[in-house]
Amino acid sequence: MKFLSRHSAVRSGLEEWADGKKLIMVTMFFWNAESRLQRTAEGFYRTIIFQTLSQCPELVAGVFPTESPTKPTDLAIIAPFPVGELEEAFDRLVKLGGTQNDFRFCYLIDGLDEYDGDNQSYRALAKQLVRWSSLDGVKIICSARPYTVFRDAFRDAGTTLEFDELTRQDMFTFASRQFALHLTHSVPPICRDACLASVDRIVTRADGVFSWSSLVVRSLINGALDEDTVDKLEERLEECPDKIEDMFEKMLSKVDHSPSVRRWSNTIMYLAAYNPIQSALNALTLTWLDDASWFEDGNLGSFPFNQQPRPYTESEVVVKHAYARKLLHSLTQGLLELKEATCSDQIQYFRYSIGFFHRSVVDFLR
């Protein structure tokens, strides 16, 4: 959905549809994040109303007729709007835009299945979207997992695309190539063949979720490289949970349970999840973990800033990057990984940073 919202062809097509009217594009991403607002009706309405009115503030008075602009604007004394009032306000907004015929609204809404509710809540939200999209001057593009409730609600509402079918061949190609790339002559042919034979099952179980299929492929590759038998590889595949969050839990459970390793693991994942600086953590951060005794026992004599600084040589950096990659795997089991800098002229010291396997990992860790 983010790709569509930024694509020039989408923008161009919508401008043509707007036919000279002011085009208002709004994006909303439901997400099972730390913030509950990211997945509730309140957060949904607040987001789309705010984004819309930010682009056409002249409609504010009509959308909130009882809120006088002469009233105090101190946010500390303004009570939050109940969800019912927000829903009514958005109804007025889209109708007002159509009545004035000065605007065209396009809403791109991602992850309806992440909405915090049950099937009845899903059905109610889907019906609202269908109703709004039937109004003059309103287009809605939304996405969700192929739940029956959404299939039924959107069946006759407009054009639908089954992305799990569109991406099926891509996932099949990705998995096959990964197995062929990593399972070379060092792996028994029978194990390599077993992994390749499992591709279709992986793609089917992924149900369109690329990150899930990538994790499963990675798990099987690791198993084959660790000399798992065919039966053991089959067991790995069967034991993979269907939900991505459960996959993350399973990966973390494989971290060595010794207190020192767990402490290091928790430290690096906490630093990555709650990174206090804007840029990603430098990969060399990992290589300082085993020098952190000054932090644990108060031995200030070995505190880094109390020692004479010396820059790493380029060969030292190469060795430390290799160590960091190995350490990152043992401490996070793939949740975090080294990301190579995109600048081709980047000096060796800044070549790698610590990144998340997938954007959902940061919310899982938090």
What is the DSSP annotation of 143-162?
A: -----HHHHHHHTTTS----
Q: DSSP labels for 240-256?
A: S-SSHHHHHHHHHHTS-
Whole-angstrom Cα distance, residue 276 to residue 264?
18
Of the candidates 290, 289, 286, the one whose C-alpha atom is nearest the C-alpha of residue 338 is 286
**Residue 345 half-sphere exposure toward CB, CA atoms < 13 A:** 0
pLDDT number for residue 104: 93
Q: DSSP labels for 299-351?
A: -GGG-GGGS---PPPHHHHHHHHHHHHHHHHHHHTTSEEEEE-S-TT--GGGS
Residues 102 and 34 in one domain: yes
Domain's final residue, options 93, 127, 161: 161
254 domain residue, yes or no: no
249 domain residue, yes or no: no
Q: Give the number of domains in the chain.
A: 3
Whole-angstrom Cα distance, residue 361 to residue 358?
6
pLDDT number for residue 121: 86
Check pLDDT > 60 for residue 302. Answer: no
Whole-angstrom Cα distance, residue 42 to residue 202?
37
Q: Which residues 6+ apart lie within 8 Å of 274 measured at CB?
A: 366
Q: What one-character DSSP code corresponds to residue 34?
A: S
Q: What is the pLDDT of residues 184-209, one digit of tens each?
A: 877 889 999 999 999 999 999 988 88
Q: What is the pLDDT of residues 118-176, one digit of tens each?
A: 888 889 889 999 999 988 889 999 988 878 888 888 887 778 888 777 888 999 999 99
Identify the bridge partners of residue 108 per DSSP, sorted by sequence position: 27, 141
Q: Which residues 6+ apart lie within 8 Å of 235 measured at CB?
A: none
Number of C-beta neighbours around residue 363 at 10 A: 16
The reply to whether the predicted model has a pTM over 0.85 is: no
Q: Which residues span the domain enclosing 157?
A: 2-161
Residues 144 and 6 in one domain: yes
Residues found in the chain? 366
Q: Which two tokens stand for residue 234?
A: 């089959």
Domain's final residue, options 161, 185, 220: 161
pLDDT interval class at 76 (50, 70, 90):
very low
Residues 15 and 104 in one domain: yes
| Low-confidence winner among 15-19, 160-164, 239-243 (lowest mean pLDDT) | 160-164
Whole-angstrom Cα distance, residue 323 to residue 287?
7
252 domain residue, yes or no: no
Residues 60 and 178 in one domain: no
Domain's final residue, options 138, 161, 184: 161
Residues 120 and 22 in one domain: yes
322 domain residue, yes or no: yes
SS3 22: strand
Residues 153 and 56 in one domain: yes
100 domain residue, yes or no: yes
Containing 258, the helix (H) or strand (E) segment is none
Cα 359 off chain centre by = 4
Helices (H), the chain: 2-6, 8-18, 41-55, 60-63, 83-100, 119-133, 148-154, 163-166, 168-182, 189-197, 199-206, 210-225, 230-239, 244-253, 259-273, 293-297, 314-332, 360-365
pLDDT number for residue 146: 78
Residues 204 and 296 in one domain: no
Residues 108 and 228 in one domain: no
248 domain residue, yes or no: no
pLDDT number for residue 258: 87
